[in-house]
Structure 1
């Protein structure tokens, strides 16, 4: 009888610990090592900006548009520490008035009343090896 009661208490204690642990774990999930973290000020994050310049250059090189596109708005940005860094960014881009290939497309103005595109880019960066690779990109009309 004592053994059955002890097992029941142990089972109840295990259930309580599991429930409390999962509730606390969900709250702190963003702070786990290796978990993606939101970049709160993407305009000022140099690593993100470099990765984004690379992603947009790859986007421009890989499409058949006559005009170069550029970022008009960063919608969201996340960073994840892996064997390097993964930057995942959602942006709104638009064509500029500059024909391809421009020397500095950041100084090119956006075409008035142009169609906007929403893109999700993931850039893998290994800074100590000077390596950068666009691992994923998906774009659709805004």
Structure 2
């Protein structure tokens, strides 16, 4: 009887481990993905303190990994570009319709970034943050070791 329990427990662990390591494509229009990407871009802008804010020019890919019932890991591959808002202005950062990426690609300075975000949207914000930036690297040389 005990060996059946051990076999069942080992099988369950292997199954859960395999499931945990599976990344799947996610729709960037999904609310959780949008919130996680918005969080990553805001942290990026705060961390590098450019004169002009940066924002997503185009999403190249978005994947999600459900670790457990407590949250999700997101990985975003995006093209970033300089917008028309100066950092530190009263514009509500990237939520403002006044902050746009110019049509002139020379002014935009497009580059690729990869963001990792752990999202726990059910977290009580008075106790724990609901998002954490887990990785950030860009092909313009900017990266953060977290």
Q: Same fold (TM over 0.5)?
A: yes
After superposition, the CA RMSD in angstroms is: 1.5
Structure 1 residue runs of 4 or more that deviate by more than 4 Å after TM superposition: none
Give me the TM-score of the superposition, normalised by structure 1: 0.70
User: 1:112-131 to 2 correspondence within 5 Å?
Assistant: 112=104, 113=106, 114-130=108-124, 131=130
Shift of 1:129: 1.3
Gaps of 5+ in 2: 1-17, 125-129, 141-146
Match of 1:100 among 87, 96, 103: 87
Q: 1:118 to 1:82 in 2, by over 3 A?
A: same
Contact 2:53/2:85 (<8 A) preserved: yes
Contact 2:81/2:111 (<8 A) preserved: yes
Contact 2:49/2:87 (<8 A) preserved: no
Shift of 1:104: 3.8
The residue that corresponds to 1:11 in the other structure is none
1:81 & 1:110 partners in 2: Cα distance? Answer: 33
1:56 & 1:140 partners in 2: Cα distance? Answer: 15
Shift of 1:70: 0.6
Structure with bigger gyration radius? 1
Gaps of 5+ in 1: 1-31
Shift of 1:78: 0.3
- Structure 1 range deviating more: 71-80 or 107-116: 107-116
2:119 & 2:94 partners in 1: Cα distance? Answer: 23
2:101 & 2:93 partners in 1: Cα distance? Answer: 13
- Structure 1 range deviating more: 107-116 or 64-73: 107-116
Shift of 1:65: 1.0
- Are residues 1:109 and 2:97 paired? no
Q: Deviations over 1:26-80 (max 9, x none)?
A: xxxxxx62211111x32x2111000000000000001131001110100011000
